[in-house]
Amino acid sequence: MSNILIIGAASGIGSELVKNYIADGDNVIGTIRTTKNETCELDFYCDIDLPFSVSSFIENYSKLGVVWDTLILCPCNPLPVKSFFNCDFIEWEKSVNTNFINQMRMVHSLYPFRNKEGISNIVFFAGGGVNNAVIDFSAYTVSKIALIKMCEFLDAENEDLNIFAVGPGLTKTKVHDIIYMNSEGKKHEEALNFINSAGGTLMDDIYGCIRILCEYGKVASGRNFSVVHDAWDTEELFTQLEHDNNMYKLRRHGNESRRSI
């Protein structure tokens, strides 16, 4: 049995992860912001956008005397859904804080409470935009790219961490409702079409991907994986990862064309 700490346990993906981990016999502790999650053994209130709320949670968690084996961060703010120069900068900045800065504050605060007897896992959620520009989502996208890069930094700096990002793809959560209510034109139409569709990434696949990546330890660490597009459930992929330290990391494209020195 492992101790799983989920930040944002009442979110769309977070609540499903809680159910899956408990079903597999793990001990789950979660943070919630607005909605009680009845499936957690223990919930703490925490709003990661409020430093005093984070400090209060850290203090309460420290009193438990429970070390975490896997830390999963689920908070997400897709707003503003506008081009950079057409959005309110304060809203843009708040989104970067939620999606990147405040998640890193949480990781920094919780690192001392990891299970020090082996390799501990930290899981972020990635988004689109690694290989292209996602129009009208610059705050959200640049934050997710920063999380991916931090995985590489923290992997290199810490031998006791398996830290990676998982891109879940289009998933049926309330995030798309938020996008729909706060967008216009093409983005508004795309959000509505997805909300009304029968598609979307299966929650069981997201859980399965995270579970396997945690089992592979440092081989997976420092990288960014796609639940939809990567063969994360095959031995072949991890054989490739063992032999290619650059695979699934942020790298410039076309380096073969550089001037030789």
Nearest to 96 by CA among 167, 169, 146: 146
Is residue 255 scored above 80 in pLDDT?
A: no
pLDDT per residue as tens digits for the range 17-69 = 999 999 999 999 999 987 555 556 678 999 999 999 999 999 999 999 999 99
Per-residue pLDDT band at 224 (split at 50, 70, 90): very high
Q: Are strands 42-45 and 3-7 parallel, antiparallel or unpaired?
A: unpaired
Tell me what pLDDT residue 41 has. Answer: 62
Mean pLDDT of all residues in 193-222: 95
Structure tokens at 230: 């990567």
Question: Tokens 């729909």 map to which residue?
Answer: 180
Asked whether the beta carbons of 23 and 33 are under 8 A apart, the reply is no
Q: Does domain 3-172+203-250 have CATH number 3.40.50.10470?
A: no
pLDDT in tens, 99-129: 999 999 999 999 999 999 999 999 999 988 7
> Among 11-15, 71-75, 122-126, 251-255, whose mean pLDDT is lowest?
251-255
pLDDT of residue 90: 98
Domains of the chain, residue spans:
3-172+203-250
CA torsion 106→108→110→114, rounded to 10°? 140
Find the length of the chain.
Answer: 261
pTM for this prediction: 0.94
Q: Nearest 5 degrees, angle CA 140-CA 28-CA 222?
A: 45
Instruction: Specify the residue for token string 């490739």.
Output: 240
DSSP structure class, residue 100: I
Angular region, 185: left φ>0, alpha ψ -120 to 50, beta rest: left
Task: Give me the pLDDT at residue 110, please.
Answer: 98
By DSSP bridging, strand 27-32 and strand 120-125 are: unpaired
99 within 8 A of 148, measured Cβ to Cβ: no
Closest to 158 in 3D by CA, of 112, 126, 127: 112
Phi then psi for 88, rounded to 5 degrees? -75, 125
Is the pLDDT reported for residue 16 higher than 60?
Answer: yes
Report the chain's C-alpha Rg in angstroms: 18
pLDDT band at 253 (very low <50, low <70, confident <90, very high): confident
Q: From CA 152, how far away is CA 239, in angstroms rounded?
A: 19
% of the chain with per-residue pLDDT over 90: 80
